[in-house]
Structure 1
Amino acid sequence: MFDAAVFGSLFLTLFVIMDPPGITPIFLALTSGRPAKVQRKMAWQAAAVALGVITVFGLVGNQILAYLHIDVPALMIAGGLLLLLIALDLLTGKMEEPKQTKDVNVALVPLGMPLLAGPGAIVQVILAVQNHDTFSGQVAVWTAILAMHIVLWLVMRYSLLIIRVIKDGGVVLVTRLAGMMLSALAVQQIINGVTQVIHGA
């Protein structure tokens, strides 16, 4: 049976972290001057690279943590602090937009990673895979991951149209709202991590 609650929770979390509306102007800046056909190809490549990175960490993230002797509460606190920094950047409008480079496939770096498959998204996926170990939970988790990357691909694929519809002001508004939601999520994750440390002590 499909766990809709797990799907919805992870999808919304990844949506806030990966911020499809906020990635639109960055994608346009990085791919400007290229033919529309090339832009569409780069949108697909960026989403595919991000999905590949997220999938690897989702499958072997726990083994990596075990090898490095990192406990989940420590990962939650570190991830929460990292998310909080990202949220503050979104709220203050200080997110750095990488400059266009003609000689590098920007769909791979920095679009695919770390802008899309960043540390915040990786942490959330590792925790989601670990916390929902039932069959229905795993199906919901991986469906949410796939659905999020399809959304990212569609947003980048039709970014020119999106910009014309919501304008620059709309992108700024959505980015600020995402920053506010992400900051609350980050603080909650830090609280959860600290609580687990205290209870485990």
Structure 2
Amino acid sequence: MQEQSFQHYLLGLIAVANNIPAIPLYLALCKGRSVAEQHRLCFVASLTSFITMMVAMLTGMTILNFFEISIDAFRMAGGLLLLNTGLGMMNSSQEAVVIETDDSFARILSTAIIPISIPLTTGAGTMSTVILFTQGINHSETLEAKLLGAIVCMTILIYVSFRYSPIIIRILKDTGMDVLTKVFGLITLALGIQFILSGIKGAFPKFV
């Protein structure tokens, strides 16, 4: 497999692990909370996303091998999943989010983990993408370092976008958020189609 660059990994993660769909829910959770609590929510959501991507990187191929799932089959399945995610982003719209929660901060923290971090920020599509990136590493320490660096950078981007989400919302407004979501959706669609094509090519080399 052709060696991939750090930018390839990072741009792929930005497409599928962006937290734009989670920002309205995150802001709804922060309403009425102290600054310290808001920062803690941001940290918990970002840390959960980092752990999710790392688990996929470290154990993904082992799980596939355990269930005897070929990488080409997983490429096609992951591609279909990304197609569904991308279509959902393309058809989404920014609407006011109303949530009902109790006064327990522990309940608020659990909501920061599910569904804000999983699956709105780092869901099944993100985990599939990380696993497929890992398959291309082939035990190369350089490529492992590149993917790890991309995961760390993606986590920082997730943290910053949550931390400064009020400013992002104020600048982009609903229209800008819609456009940004659809752009990421289009990239996710293209990534999904690429995974499907690669899977078909690997599974049926005589017909492609």
Q: Is the 8 A contact 1:27 1:111 kept in 2?
A: yes
Shift of 1:199: 2.0
What do residues 128-149 of structure 1 show as CA deviations (whole Å, max 9, x unaligned)?
A: 1221232211111100001001
**1: CA distance between counterparts of 2:182 and 2:72?**
28
What do residues 65-106 of structure 1 show as CA deviations (whole Å, max 9, x unaligned)?
A: 111111111111111111111111111116997845345221
Q: Is the 8 A contact 1:30 1:98 kept in 2?
A: no
Shift of 1:22: 3.6
Question: Percent of aligned positions with the same letter in both sequences?
Answer: 29
- Secondary structure at 1:199's aligned position in 2? coil
- The alignment's C-alpha RMSD in Å is 2.2
Shift of 1:8: 0.5
Q: Is the 8 A contact 1:29 1:100 kept in 2?
A: no
Aligned to 1:17: 16
TM-score (norm 2): 0.86
Task: Tell me which of 144, 148, 158 is aligned to 2:154.
Answer: 148
Q: Is the 8 A contact 2:26 2:162 kept in 1?
A: yes
Residues 95 and 170 from structure 1, CA distance in 2 versus in 1: closer, same or farther, beyond 3 angstroms? closer
State the one-letter code of the partner of 1:198: F
Task: Tell me which of 174, 181, 190 is aligned to 1:168.
Answer: 174
- Gapped runs of 5+ residues in structure 2? none
Q: Is the 8 A contact 1:73 1:193 kept in 2?
A: yes
Deviant stretches of 4+, over 4 Å: 94-98
TM-score (norm 1): 0.89
State the one-letter code of the partner of 1:50: S
- Secondary structure at 1:41's aligned position in 2? helix
Aligned to 1:45: 44
**1: CA distance between counterparts of 2:168 and 2:94?**
20
**1: CA distance between counterparts of 2:149 and 2:124?**
20
Shift of 1:26: 3.0
- Secondary structure at 2:127's aligned position in 1? helix
Q: Is the 8 A contact 1:21 1:175 kept in 2?
A: yes
- Gapped runs of 5+ residues in structure 1? none
Task: Tell me which of 122, 126, 130 is aligned to 1:117.
Answer: 122
**1: CA distance between counterparts of 2:72 and 2:23?**
33
Deviates further, 13-22 or 89-98: 89-98
Q: Is the 8 A contact 1:17 1:121 kept in 2?
A: yes
Task: Say whether 1:177 aligns with 2:183.
Answer: yes
- Higher fraction of helix: 1
Task: Say whether 1:189 aligns with 2:188.
Answer: no
State the one-letter code of the partner of 2:31: S
